[in-house]
Chain A
Amino acid sequence: MAKITYIEHDGTEHTIEVKTGLSVMEGAVKNNIPGIDADCGGACACATCHVYVDPAWTGKTGTKSAMEESMLDFAEGVEENSRLSCQIKVSDELDGLVVRMPESQH
């Protein structure tokens, strides 16, 4: 379990416990948190689960695969700390993780 805080674009915060092994995207979707669409359900095919990882956590969320990098490169509003949340696996190490959602996933 890891406590993860999802912050919507309008500032609304949702802090929930997410099971180890799920992705950060699945944590949001399974708890019906708005702001992450995840059209493809985690296949790294759509870039609609884009989040900004809080700078304090970027070192712990792993590295981007070539596919993720490539999808993100063409998504809107991409920053240095942008990730596809379906590609971040939740572990005990991520207890306290904070991610922010973009204005739109399209």
Chain B
Amino acid sequence: MSTEGERAPDGAVVIVGAGHAGGTAAALLRQYGYAGPIVLIGEEPHAPYQRPPLSKAWLKGEADADSLALKPAEWYAEADIDFRPNARAVRIDRAGKTVELADGTVVPYGHLVLATGARAIALPIPGADLKGVMFLRTADDAEQLKAAVGPGKKLAVVGGGYIGLEVAASGRALGAEVTVFEREDRLLARVACETLSSFFQAYHEQHGVTFELGCSVVGFTGDEAGHVTGVTLADGRVVACDAAVVGVGAQPNDELARDAGLDVARGVVVDLEARSSDPAIFAIGDVAHRPMPIYGGRMFRMESVPNALEQAKQAASAIAGRPAPAGECPWQWSDQYDLKLQIAGYAFDVDEILVRGDPATAKFAVFHLAGDRIQSVEAINAPPEFMMGRQLILNRKPVDKAKLADPAVSMKEVVAQG
């Protein structure tokens, strides 16, 4: 898709979306020596910040706004980056190479980087717009949630995925009574195996979280002031709450790209340089539908910080004329109570699941295999399994399954024998 000629910037790099991906792309362009103009356009009032702590350290009051920020506010001016908060891009003119903002401003680009992220999926049910029914996506969302959660408060969490479970754990740490409502009959149904689901359920129950599994939330009840008072279930029960967090997934903000006629699947389709079907336009982070070489070039969309950083590297490298970064093994993490969950890879085409260690000890790993190759690993308080698993996934080396299943054989030995 790319040619040398296109690598020479013939105008500003305009980055639409000032989240983790967009902010990092701007910073890396400067690190890589790109000296041309950079415009960073963000809808939120804040300069780029880290989202993962919002459901964890920040919610618990262990991190402040300064520590969330990717860079200090003054850094953007110092680095000659034209950061425009509170600005929304509404249209791309590919022929004229401009982006139009909601206030009518037209911004010309040489390269355009779409880092528009994803948005929380709303529940199409009555009461979803009541006060106290929240999402957790932005710092402002987190601020609202933090104000609503405290000792004795009843918190309803709709959705038993990672966000929901992190909020539940933080809610318990803050003394709230927490109930998690999940449509499937187990937690993390879309993203983890049954071993992990039951482990997390038991661990959260030990910490006082109540679960309603296999239950359908059909509405929220409210008081006269328009504030949420309860969760209505399909079986007619109403479970009282003071606040509710809805964490049922996210969808990519790919409308700009769609309207501009770019190839869009489940997100903006890009190549290994994060370049879209228009060579002057890149897409990175949650909004991108990207190929993964370690899974035979399979295309998928990921929502994780490591993915945002990797693709920021790809786009910044291509624009600055550097070689593309070496292929990575995608990974992510979650912190709940004293549990550190680290996940490497994705469980594609898996024909065997192998548990190393005893879940009862809260220190174990689940390996997902296709034949004798590891596709993914979920490690609980088990850094060696995560670190070595990630390496094996990346190298695509076959493993000795008997050794892998035996915690008495060190992970270094497993890798060496592989």
| Interface membership of B13, Cβ < 8 A | no
* Other 17 A-B pairs with CB < 8 A, given A30-B69, A30-B75: A32-B30, A32-B71, A32-B75, A32-B79, A39-B305, A40-B333, A41-B305, A43-B335, A45-B342, A46-B306, A46-B333, A47-B387, A73-B383, A74-B384, A74-B387, A74-B412, A106-B326
In contact, A30 and B72 (Cβ under 8 angstroms): yes
Q: Which 10 pairs show the lowest CB-CB distances between chains A and B? A: A74-B387, A45-B333, A70-B383, A71-B383, A34-B31, A41-B50, A39-B306, A32-B27, A30-B71, A45-B342
Is A56 interfacial (CB 8 A cutoff)? no
Q: Which residues of A contact B53 (CB under 8 A)?
A: 41
- B interface SS class: helix
Total of A-B residue pairs, C-beta within 8 Å: 60
Would you call B52 an interface residue if the criterion is a C-beta within 8 Å of the partner chain's C-beta atoms? yes
Please report A residues at the B interface, Cβ cutoff 8 Å.
Answer: 22, 26, 29-32, 34, 37, 39-41, 43-47, 67, 70-71, 73-75, 106
Bound Cα distance from A56 to B412, whole angstroms: 31
6 contacts between A and B (CB under 8 A): A40-B333, A41-B52, A43-B333, A46-B306, A46-B331, A74-B383
Is there contact, CB below 8 Å, between A32 and B387? no
Tell me the complex Cα distance, A39–B208, Å.
Answer: 32
CB distance from A7 to the nearest CB of B (A): 16
Question: Which of chain B's residues 208-258 have a Cβ closer than 8 Å to chain A?
Answer: none
**In contact, A32 and B31 (Cβ under 8 angstroms):** yes
Inter-subunit contact B72/A45 (CB<8 Å): no
Tell me the nearest residue of chain A to B50, going by C-beta.
A41
Complex CA–CA separation, A31 to B30 (angstroms):
12
**B388's closest neighbor in chain A, by CB?**
A74
Closest to A41 in B: B50
- How many whole Å from A72's CB to the nearest CB in chain B? 9
Are the C-beta atoms of B411 and A74 separated by less than 8 Å? yes
Q: Determine the residue in chain A with the shortest Cβ distance to B306.
A: A39
Q: Is B328 on the interface with A (CB-CB < 8 A)?
A: yes
Which of A31, A45, A75 has its CB near the most chain B CB atoms (within 10 A)? A45
Residue of A nearest to B331 (CB): A46
**In the assembled complex, B70 has its CB within 8 A of some CB on chain A:** yes
CB B416 to nearest CB in A, in angstroms, measures 13
Q: Are A45 and B340 in contact (CB under 8 A)?
A: yes
CA A62 to CA B306, docked complex, whole Å: 28
Q: Give A96 to B69 CA distance when docked, in angstroms.
A: 25
- Bound CA span A44–B387, Å: 12
Nearest CB on B from A94, distance (A) = 18
- What CA separation (Å) do A30 and B333 show in the bound complex? 22
- Whether B399 sits at the interface, judged by CB under 8 Å, is no
Q: How far is the CA of A75 from the CA of B388 in the complex (A)?
A: 9
Does the CB pair B52–A43 fall under 8 Å? yes
B395 in the interface (beta carbon within 8 A): no
| Residues on the A chain within 8 Å of B333, using CB | 40, 43, 45-46
Q: Does B67 contact A (CB under 8 A)?
A: yes
Interface string of B49-75 (1 = CB under 8 A from A): 010110000000000000101111001
Determine which of A30, A47, A67, A106 lies in contact with B328 in the assembled complex, contact meaning CB atoms within 8 Å.
Answer: A106
Provide the B328-355 mask, 1 if CB < 8 A to any CB of A, else 0. 1001010100001010000000000000
Q: Is B306 a contact partner of A29 (Cβ separation < 8 A)?
A: no
Q: Which residues of B contact A39 (CB under 8 A)?
A: 305-306, 309
CB of B240 to closest CB in A, whole Å: 34
A81 to B411, CA, bound (A): 23
Q: Which residues of B contact A71 (CB under 8 A)?
A: 383, 387
- Whether B71 contacts A70 by the Cβ 8 Å rule is no
Cα-based distance from A71 to B53 in the complex (angstroms): 20
Alpha-carbon distance A75/B52, docked complex (angstroms): 23
Min CB gap B67→A, angstroms: 7
Chain A nearest CB, measured from B311 CB (Å): 13
Shortest Cβ distance from B48 into chain A, in angstroms? 12
**Alpha-carbon distance A46/B75, docked complex (angstroms):** 26
Interface centre among B70, B328, B387, B411 (most CB of A within 10 A): B387
B384 touches A73 (CB 8 A): yes
CB-defined contacts of B331 to chain A, threshold 8 Å: 46
Give every chain B residue within 8 A of A31 (Cβ-Cβ). 75
- Report chain A residues within 8 Å CB of B305: 39-41
Closest CB-CB distance, B310 to chain A, in whole Å?
A: 9
Q: What residues of A have a CB within 8 angstroms of the CB of B71 in the complex?
A: 29-30, 32
Contact B75 A67 (CB under 8 A): no
